[in-house]
């Protein structure tokens, strides 16, 4: 389509938004065209979410104008956004588990609710764009991709012609991502205008028509996707040359077994089996990647090793430098930590695992060391120095180390959490979703830190959502499916499609490396 024939769906002119002294967006001017998929990129804290929240009616701009289909509009609430044909699908779903897909989709609609006609309209939307969803299925029975489908259908049901998708592929398998992209292409062909926020640049290249860049709250520019590459996009986001390369270094010393897991089964309080007969080992100077769709047992596995999850049966043994073994099951979590087993887990609620929001950075460092004091007085110098080192190394955006953690952005909270665990020099480092929601520059900093631990001889268990990264950084990959081991494969020779199939048990049962 030529430039002159492009029809604008939404335009923002000089849009600004501040929170106190923080300028989240400063005079942003940007266009989105009908029948276009626009990728919005930027580092953490660059203002992407704030800008989209203004379009979705969650925030109201301090100054500037928003035009929809060439007409200036005022968007003061999500209802205003829907009335102007704008729908946002958030990364964390806003669905009620006990209701059906149809009930969630029509929830909040005015007038008499007719489930039968609603289901017919939902099926019509699904048939038109290629969605696969059962209107009568309860949300709690759905997979992650099905729930996401319900969220997208919900905004289409309400008449959205402009869709904002926030990290839509974060927890999808490669096969599910391809299905989503096929649907997005169908929507684009129907004239829908789509903004996608993602940190996966390979997906940006695959699905978007144009790329828009924000940096420190300002609009830097845009590029035709076909005419750019990951390196150029990253350089524009950061404002300087960035090296995009995940190495697979060799450890300084010969590897030796550090952790042996045999026949571990975990059953939750409701009697649901979360892990069934899990067996593997991990060596010093090795990165064992854990692949699996969301909720397939990764969290329970790491927590079982860390002593935070009761184990019904099996054995988890830590092997000391002299070859002696210690059983971790039944051991106090604090004792396991003192032995050198560190868990860095980044959940949806980053302040829910090991960080206290009202404490400042230095005080959060103390949470790992205060029990080691031999006096009634707390040593504040070492935590203070560690906080400063983490802020400097990981480029944590904060007014100072005395700032409460709750006032930091999610990505910066994450850097503090990961940095603290690595700084404790563990012999076994378990890290889950270490770069979840981080921009590409910060992500590569984390990858480099993890590789440095490997070189030092640390045994690393790495749970990640991006299979491309998992394949680049892992020496071996353990694939989980429904709480069971689908296979263990060599990270150097594995391919993404094979791992994706194993994650859904499509031919993965026999894919063991030996």
Rounded Cα distance between 129 and 132, Å, is 9
Do residues 180 and 256 both lie within one domain?
Answer: no
| pTM score | 0.74
Do residues 60 and 138 both lie within one domain?
Answer: yes
Q: Quote the radius of gyration of the chain (alpha carbons, Å).
A: 24
Do residues 324 and 432 both lie within one domain?
Answer: yes
Q: Which two tokens stand for residue 448?
A: 């480099």
376 sits in the region (left: phi over 0; alpha: psi -120 to 50; else beta) called alpha
Q: What are phi and psi of 456, to 5 degrees?
A: -75, -10
Does the residue 7 lie in any domain? yes
Residues 319 and 258: beta-carbon distance below 8 Å: yes
Read out DSSP for 121-164? HHHHHHHHHT----TTSBGGG--HHHHHHHHHHHHHHTT-SEEE
Do residues 220 and 257 both lie within one domain?
Answer: no
Do residues 182 and 249 both lie within one domain?
Answer: no
Q: How many domains does the chain have?
A: 3
- pLDDT tens for each residue of 463-495: 988 888 999 999 999 999 999 999 999 999 998
Highest mean pLDDT among 111-120, 187-196, 386-395, 430-439: 187-196
In whole numbers, what is the pLDDT of the chain averaged over residues? 87
Do residues 185 and 56 both lie within one domain?
Answer: yes
Q: How confident is the model at residue 170, as a pLDDT?
A: 76
Read out DSSP for 429-455? EEEESTTTT--HHHHHHHHHHHHHHHH
What is the maximum span of the chain, computed from C-alpha positions, in angstroms? 75
Rounded Cα distance between 73 and 446, Å, is 42
CATH number at residue 256: 3.40.50.300
Rounded Cα distance between 502 and 184, Å, is 25
- Among the candidates 212, 238, 264, a domain finishes at 238
Q: What are phi and psi of 326, to 5 degrees?
A: -130, 130
Do residues 488 and 411 both lie within one domain?
Answer: no
Average pLDDT for residues 158-175, to the nearest whole number?
Answer: 87
Domain that holds residue 405: 351-425
**Strand residues in 216-363 grouped as ranges (E):** 218-224, 257-267, 273-283, 286-291, 313-319, 325-327, 341-345
Do residues 65 and 193 both lie within one domain?
Answer: yes
Confidence class of residue 224 from pLDDT cuts 50, 70 and 90?
Answer: very high
Residues in contact with 325: Cβ distance below 8 Å, sequence separation at least 6, in sequence order: 260, 317, 318, 319
Do residues 270 and 186 both lie within one domain?
Answer: no
Confidence class of residue 270 from pLDDT cuts 50, 70 and 90?
Answer: confident
The rounded percent of the chain whose pLDDT value lies above 90 is 55
Does the residue 441 lie in any domain? yes
- Among the candidates 401, 425, 449, a domain finishes at 425
Do residues 45 and 147 both lie within one domain?
Answer: yes
């Amino acid at each position: 389509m030529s430039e002159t024939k492009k029809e604008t769906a939404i335009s923002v002119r000089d849009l600004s938004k501040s929170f106190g002294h923080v300028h989240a967006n400063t005079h942003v001017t940007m266009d989105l065209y009908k029948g276009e998929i626009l990728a919005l990129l930027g580092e953490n804290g660059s203002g992407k979410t704030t800008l989209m929240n203004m379009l979705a009616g969650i925030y109201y701009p301090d100054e500037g104008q928003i035009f929809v289909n060439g007409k200036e509009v005022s968007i003061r609430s999500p209802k205003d956004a829907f009335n102007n044909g704008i729908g946002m699908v958030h990364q964390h779903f806003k669905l009620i588990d006990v209701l059906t897909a149809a009930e969630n989709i029509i929830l909040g609609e005015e007038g008499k609710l007719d489930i039968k006609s609603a289901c017919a309209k939902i099926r019509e939307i699904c048939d038109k764009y290629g969605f696969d969803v059962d209107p009568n299925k309860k949300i709690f029975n759905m997979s992650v991709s099905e729930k996401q489908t319900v969220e997208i259908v919900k905004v289409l049901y309400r008449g959205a012609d402009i869709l904002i998708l926030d990290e839509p592929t974060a927890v999808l398998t490669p096969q599910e991502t391809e299905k989503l992209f096929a649907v997005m292409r169908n929507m684009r062909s129907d004239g829908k205008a789509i903004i996608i926020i993602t940190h996966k640049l390979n997906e940006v290249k695959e699905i978007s028509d144009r790329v828009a860049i924000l940096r420190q709250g300002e609009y830097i520019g845009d590029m035709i996707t076909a005419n750019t590459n990951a390196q150029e996009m990253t350089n524009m986001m950061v404002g300087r040359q960035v090296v995009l390369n995940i190495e697979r270094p060799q450890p300084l010393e010969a590897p030796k077994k550090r952790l042996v897991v045999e026949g571990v089964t975990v059953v939750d309080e409701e009697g649901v089996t979360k892990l069934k007969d899990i067996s593997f080992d991990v060596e010093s100077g090795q990165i064992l990647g854990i692949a699996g769709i969301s909720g397939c047992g990764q969290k329970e596995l790491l927590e079982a090793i860390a002593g935070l999850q009761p184990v019904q049966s099996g054995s988890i043994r830590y092997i000391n430098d002299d070859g002696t073994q210690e059983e971790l099951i039944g051991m106090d979590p604090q004792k396991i930590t003192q032995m050198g087993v560190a868990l860095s887990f980044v959940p949806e609620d980053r302040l829910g695992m090991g960080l206290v929001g009202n404490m400042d950075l230095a005080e959060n460092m103390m949470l790992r060391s205060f029990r080691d004091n031999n006096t009634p007085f707390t040593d504040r110098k070492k935590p203070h120095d560690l906080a400063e080192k983490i802020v400097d190394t990981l480029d944590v955006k904060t007014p100072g180390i005395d700032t409460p953690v709750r006032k930091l952005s999610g990505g910066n909270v994450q850097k503090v959490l990961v940095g603290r665990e690595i700084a404790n020099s563990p012999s076994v480092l378990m890290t889950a979703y270490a770069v979840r929601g981080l921009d590409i520059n910060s992500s590569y900093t984390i990858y480099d830190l993890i590789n440095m631990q490997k070189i030092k001889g640390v045994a690393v268990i790495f749970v990640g959502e991006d299979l491309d990264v998992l394949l680049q950084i892992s020496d071996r990959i353990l694939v989980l499916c429904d709480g069971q081991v689908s296979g263990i494969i060599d990270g150097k020779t594995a391919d993404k499609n094979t791992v994706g199939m194993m994650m859904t048990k499509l031919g993965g049962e026999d894919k063991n490396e030996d």
